[in-house]
Amino acid sequence: MSVYELEKSPGEWCLHCRVGVGCSIYDNRPTECRQFLCGYLALSDLSEEWKPSRSKIIITTDVIRNDITFHVDPSCPDAWRREPFYSYMKQRAERVASQRGRVLVIVGWRSIVIFPDRDVDLGTSATTSLS
């Protein structure tokens, strides 16, 4: 995911990340990092399989716009197509369809909108990925 305060683009490691250890500036991490709410912890209907280290997917939600976004590890670009992930996305798409919300999959700079009856690949776009 992108971190504006660090000018970090999606799909790139954060300079402060110590792989397998954690954040090297945790006590002084940017506000954006402090305010991040992981969907795996926030959504009550997700199984253990959704744990980001297993699923390779990080979830964010926008409760005002009824949006849910699945940020997929670019080194596992098809992880979102596996089960139970894909079926869950389709269920969410059904749920938000009447609420003007959207279900979005982001893989690096690529964006895919998930509708109940189809998936629409928007291709690669910096503005879409950073929104």
Site string for ligand SF4, 61-100 (x = CB under 6 A): ----------------------------------------
For residue 84, the one-letter residue type is P
Q: Which is nearer to ligand SF4, 29 or 90 (CB)?
A: 29
Q: Which is nearer to ligand SF4, 16 or 95 (CB)?
A: 16
* 74 prior amide bond cis, ω within 30: no
Min dist CB 60 to ligand SF4, Å, is 13
Q: Which is nearer to ligand SF4, 31 or 98 (CB)?
A: 31
Min dist CB 41 to ligand SF4, Å, is 15
How far apart are the C-alpha atoms of 55 and 48, rounded to whole Å?
9
* Phi, psi (rounded to 5 degrees) for 87: -60, -40
Site string for ligand SF4, 4-43 (x = CB under 6 A): ----------x-xx-----x-x---xx--x----------
> What is the DSSP track for 49-109?
GG-HHHH-EEEEEETTTTEEEEEE-TTSTTGGGSTTHHHHHHHHHHHHHTTT--EEEEETT
